[in-house]
Amino acid sequence: METGFERYSCQIALPGFSETSQRLLQQAKVLVVGAGGLGCPAAQYLAAAGIGTLGIADHDNVSVSNLHRQVLFGPADVGRNKAEVAAERLRLQNPAITIVPYNQKIVHENVLQLVAEYDIVVDCTDNFATRYLLNDAAVLAGKPVVYGAIYQFEGQVAIWNVRNSNGYYTPNYRDLFPKVNESQIPNCTEGGVIPTLAGIIGCMQANEVIKYISQNGELLTGKVLIFDAQSMRSRIIKIGNITQTYITALPISIEQPVITVADLKQALAANSVELIDVRNADERELFDIGGRHIPLNELENNIDQLNTDIVKVFYCASGIRSAEAVRLFKLKYPEVKAFSLEGGLKAWRG
């Protein structure tokens, strides 16, 4: 066996796999977006398998509530950037590969350039705005995307935008979800997630990447695998062989400015802002910091009732739903100042 391949001997010994397959992995460049519950196990197994260049993009910092499912991190990492900590751990795991951390948010201004530098993208994000942005950028660049999502006990996996032998591309995320009402779907912070599910789905994503690069096995193209961790049952939903969407540009960017807890407290003392709580009624009964209560799923129908003469600050549990509230508000009133409380009530309560 070729020198340097000893570490990969067990996978090279697989039927249909070979040293040529391993070289394909070593030559590949894979971008993992999101170093959270999905990104940690996906990146770990991609690094272990010998992916030549592994990019990890995440602008968020490690928090205590991440530790039950984000297995690259420990208590000493709280407050540090996830991409940078993940890169440190993975370099120790496999010093022979290149790990590139990106401590930056994926936005309109950088997504196309970033995606263009890699062969395949692994979508481990936790919000729909970034997911659609990644999907559209990958379609425009002609790059495949391995999709993963988890919520409570259920996970989903698919691979989008793979070029068929006939030159057409397989379905992408917009073929399955042309548009999602984010206000109806809580994230892991608000809805909960069993930690083992993150590991299962993240490993499935890594598996799709390895199959795609090594050209070995049947890909989840044109279909979505749905896994239930409670029953340990899975099913596959077929979408089709060819995409029916036509993406010619990135989605319209709506600025979603944030305000820190410290700045908000100063603004409240000066009586210069109006607070709007976009959580549900059960959450508000437990704790609130005042202001009007308009759940996010009711905001669009009540926007006209808001006073546009004063700065708005929307808040929720973690800052995700309030960011969506700012987007909806700015679509209607682009000139009115509106902010999302950064980190939500979790940050407010320290």
Instruction: Write out the catalytic residue numbers.
Output: 188, 316
Mention every residue, 6+ apart, whose C-beta is less than 8 A from residue 192.
Answer: 152
Amino acid at 266: Q
Helix spans in the chain (H): 9-12, 19-27, 39-49, 82-93, 108-116, 128-141, 173-176, 188-191, 195-214, 261-269, 281-286, 296-302, 320-332, 344-348
Query: Which residues pair with residue 350 across a beta bridge?
Result: none
State residue 42 phi and psi, 5-degree precision.
-60, -50
The sign of the torsion formed by the CA atoms of 219, 70, 137, 322 equals: positive
Please choose, from the candidates 272, 255, 250, the residue with its C-alpha nearest in 3D space to the C-alpha of residue 328. 255
**Tokens, residue 59:** 């602008």
> How many angstroms separate the CA atoms of 36 and 72, rounded?
9
10 Å CB burial of residue 182 (0-12, 13-18, 19+) is: buried
Ordered strands of the 273-277 beta sheet: 258-259, 338-341, 311-315, 273-277, 292-293
> How many angstroms separate the CA atoms of 250 and 255, rounded?
14
**Tokens, residue 117:** 């530098």
Q: Are 288 and 327 in contact (CB under 8 A)?
A: no
Q: Are 37 and 195 in contact (CB under 8 A)?
A: yes
Note the Cα 150 to chain centre separation in Å. Answer: 10
Please choose, from the candidates 25, 26, 45, the residue with its C-alpha nearest in 3D space to the C-alpha of residue 213. 25
Query: Which residues pair with residue 158 across a beta bridge?
Result: 147
